[in-house]
Chains A and B, each alone.
Chain A
Amino acid sequence: MRRTFRLTTYGYLFPGLFFMGIFTFIPVFMSAYLSLFKWNINNPEPHFTWFSNYIEVFKAPLFWLVLRNNLIYAFTTIPLSMSLALFLAILINQKMGWIRSLYRGSLFYPTMIPMVAAAMLWVWIFNPGLGIFNYYLGFLGFPKIEWLYDMRYALMGIIIMSIWKNFGYYMLIFLAGLQGIPSHYYEAAAIEGATGWKQFRYITFPMLAPATLFVFIVAIISSFQVFDQVFVMTQGGPGDRTNVLVFYIYQHAFRFWDLGMGSTLTTLFILGLLVAIWLVFRVIGRRVYYEV
């Protein structure tokens, strides 16, 4: 079809672009611009200092700890919740009648719960004295752990609750992918003598690639925007062991009122996120087969 230049066409795009421009794109440039200024309690009038904020960020040991915490969170929650989700999706996809919707509902419902409420619930479950988590771990021979109050275990506590909260949604996406695989592929494979693992390796896995890519991207974005559970469960503590990027930005902006630093961190955050997603598309995106 011929390309046109009609004002009405752009008129249809305008409402979306307008809000997107004001609340997504201008903010990106605004924080990049503000990141070049000192603007905090001591300097109520912003003044231009080139890249000194960036140097300050990279020099702060806390920034590296925060980055490390967030990477640990990402590198544990993403593979664990994705593999759990895939495993359960394959199980649930078997023929089993009405009971399937019962399983599906009980595995998926945490997605419906606000993260804040889920976090509150897990504070109660992790309670060192009265919590059921320590009680049942005790049966397995674990010693009492002070979960959210212990520097060594607090992040693990947050990881456990986040997996519980998120895997159900990923499972559902995998399930949708599985249901899209025509059953005659498996029938043909069975005739050729391919069973079990081979069917998974050569049919299920490649056919699930688009669903896997989608889940992966969603998981990356959500693991770098983790905030609610940290805010409610630990406030970044103890000893900043659960401080993560968004919480760190929040602290600088709304606790210390250091808007220059906050903007610098925001800029780094957006750059990091875009680079991570771009890498994922580069490395695995082009191997994914899409039907358009």
Chain B
Amino acid sequence: MKFNRHLRNKSGLHLILMVVSLITVAPYFWILSTSLKYRTEVFTPTPKWIPWPINIQNYLEVFQMAPFHLYLINTIIVVTGILAVQLVTITLAAYVFSRKNFWGKEFFFFLFLIQMMIPIHATFLPNFLTLKRFDLLNTRVAMMLPFFASGYGTFLLRQAFRQIPRALEDAAVIDGCGGLRFLWHVLVPLAKPTLIAFSIISIVSHWNDYLWPLIVTDTPDVRTLTIGLGMFVQQESGADWTLLMAATAFVTAPMLIFFLVFQKKFVQSFMLSGMKG
């Protein structure tokens, strides 16, 4: 009896989860399906989920119409550029916040916390004016600059550094390994999981940036994938859905493939991102 009830409970659970999962996955399946159809196959009275015959031509056509390979390279440059500088700034700041006691510590830490609360969406206008003054519009660096400091990353890493026992530091100092060398040889390797988590989150969020690159670029040479997609949509406003969905699928593909391959790492990283302060 008890076992039966258990089974019934579980089947209800799986039913709910399966229905919700299907509903969330369906939209993406629909992109792929549409992107592989012939133009005429789109206009069916009932949705045709499985495209047949399959048409890969759409993807080739998209590449002929807009330089998506260039957009991809630009995106990779921007995202890695941001991450590289971020890793330096957050590591140095997190180190002093977790290990040193100095005048103004609370004040400076407060500044880092506030920065978390003020997204680029709240400051894009003055930032645009600043970059214009320094003649940096329409460059890849312009797309990276506002993200070089990360209050959030600093906070996350400070938590990780604080959990590393102080005795290690004393031992290291006695062995003549202080300051930067201690940071590099002891703290950084021990905080690797947090650094990886932050990197994944940073890559995903800047891969998906739209507003800021939209504002500071207006030539294809420096545009990123998301901007390229937005432009493609305007250029293709005649609504050829097979082409639009092929472009959309291409733009989403890199992150989703990464996610599928490293699902566990991604999930752990995003879980860690909300861990207690």
Interchain CB contact under 8 A, A117 and B248: yes
Q: How large is the interface on A (under 10, 10 to 19, 20 to 34, 35 or more residues)?
A: 35 or more
Cβ of B196 within 8 Å of any chain A Cβ, yes or no, is no
Residues B28 and A108 in contact, CB atoms below 8 Å apart: no
A4 and B226 CA atoms in complex are apart in Å by 47
B17 contacts which of A91, A164, A254 (Cβ < 8 Å)? A91
Taken residue by residue from 269 to 288, chain A's Cβ proximity to chain B (1 for < 8 Å, 0 otherwise) reads as: 11001100100000000000
- Beta-carbon contact of B108 and A17 below 8 Å: yes
CB distance from A122 to the nearest CB of B (A): 7
Residue A1 at the chain B interface, CB threshold 8 Å: yes
Minimum C-beta distance from A266 to chain B (A): 5
Q: Which residues of B contact A105 (CB under 8 A)?
A: 259-260, 263, 267
- Contact yes or no, A15 B267, CB < 8 A: no
Report Cα–Cα, A60/B74, bound state, in Å. Answer: 41
Q: Is A227 among interface residues, defined by CB-CB distance under 8 A?
A: yes
CB pair A6 B274 closer than 8 Å? no
B residues 49-76 with Cβ under 8 Å of A? none
Residue from A106, A168, A249 with most neighbouring chain B CB atoms (10 Å): A106
Given contacts A4-B101, A10-B102, contact A20 B245 (CB under 8 A): no
Q: Do B248 and A103 touch across chains, with their CB atoms under 8 A apart?
A: no
- B contact residues around A291 at 8 Å (CB): 276
Interface string of B239-277 (1 = CB under 8 A from A): 001001100100110011011100110110011111111
- Contact among B22, B26, B31, B118 for A24, CB-based, below 8 A: B118
Which one of A9, A132, A221 lies within 8 Å of B117 (CB-CB)?
A221
* B89 engages A246 (CB within 8 Å): no
A246 touches B112 (CB 8 A): no
Whether B271 and A231, one on each chain, are in contact in the complex, defined by CB atoms closer than 8 angstroms, is no
Which residues on B sit within 8 Å (CB–CB) of A189?
none
Per-position 1/0 for B5-41, Cβ under 8 A of A:
0000010011011101110111110110010000000
Q: Are A12 and B118 in contact (CB under 8 A)?
A: no
Given A109-B28, A114-B226, A120-B229, A19 and B92 contact (CB-CB distance below 8 Å): no
Contact of A104 with B267 in the complex, beta carbons under 8 Å: yes
Bound CA–CA A250/B210 (angstroms): 13
| Closest partner residue, chain A, to B260 (CB atom) | A105
Report B172-208 CB contacts with A as 1/0, cut-off 8 Å. Answer: 0000000100000000000000000000000010011
Whether A27 lies near B248 (C-beta < 8 A) is: no
Size category of the B interface is 35 or more
Q: Is A145 located at the chain interface by the 8 A CB criterion? A: no
Is A94 close to B, CB under 8 A? yes
**Chain A proximity of B158: nearest CB distance (Å):** 12
Known: A15-B89, A120-B233, A273-B117. A114 touches B225 (CB 8 A): yes
Proximity bits, B200-222, A CB within 8 Å = 1, else 0: 00001001101100110000000
> Which of A48-56, A151-159, A209-217 is found at the contact surface with chain B?
A209-217
Q: Chain B contacts of A6 at CB under 8 A?
A: 102
The residues of A that contact B238 with a CB separation of less than 8 Å are: none
| Contact A30 B211, beta carbon cutoff 8 Å | no
**Distance in Å from the Cβ of B122 to the closest Cβ of chain A?**
5
What is the CB-to-nearest-CB distance from B31 to chain A, in angstroms, rounded to a whole number? 5
Of A94, A120, A177, which is within 8 A of B248 by CB?
Answer: A120
Q: How far is the CA of A94 from the CA of B27 in the complex (A)?
A: 27
Query: With A111-B270, A225-B119, A270-B123 known to touch, is A5 a contact of B17 (CB < 8 Å)?
Result: no
Does A110 touch B at the CB level, under 8 Å? yes
Q: Which residues of B contact A176 (CB under 8 A)?
A: 271-272, 274-275
Query: Is the C-beta of B81 less than 8 angstroms from some C-beta in chain A?
Result: no
Compute how far the CA of A9 lies from the CA of B108 in the bound complex, rounded to whole angstroms.
12
Output the least CB separation between B149 and chain A (Å). Answer: 4
Q: Distance (Å) between the CB of A234 and the closest chain B CB?
A: 13
The 0/1 profile, CB within 8 Å of B marked 1, for residues 228-252 of chain A is 1001100000000000001001100
A246 proximity list for chain B (CB < 8 A): 121, 211
- A30 near B129 with CB under 8 A, answer yes
Q: Is B139's beta carbon under 8 Å from chain A?
A: no
Can you list 23 pairs linking A and B with CB atoms under 8 Å apart? Answer: A4-B101, A13-B93, A16-B149, A17-B93, A19-B148, A23-B123, A26-B130, A30-B126, A31-B126, A103-B17, A111-B204, A124-B34, A130-B42, A172-B274, A173-B273, A176-B274, A214-B277, A218-B274, A225-B122, A227-B121, A231-B214, A270-B118, A277-B117
Spell out A's residues near B (CB within 8 Å): 1-6, 8-10, 12-13, 15-20, 22-28, 30-31, 34, 88, 91-92, 94, 96, 99, 101-117, 120-122, 124-125, 127, 130, 132, 135, 164, 168-169, 172-173, 175-177, 210-211, 214-215, 218, 221, 224-225, 227-228, 231-232, 246, 249-250, 253-254, 259, 262-263, 266, 269-270, 273-274, 277, 290-292
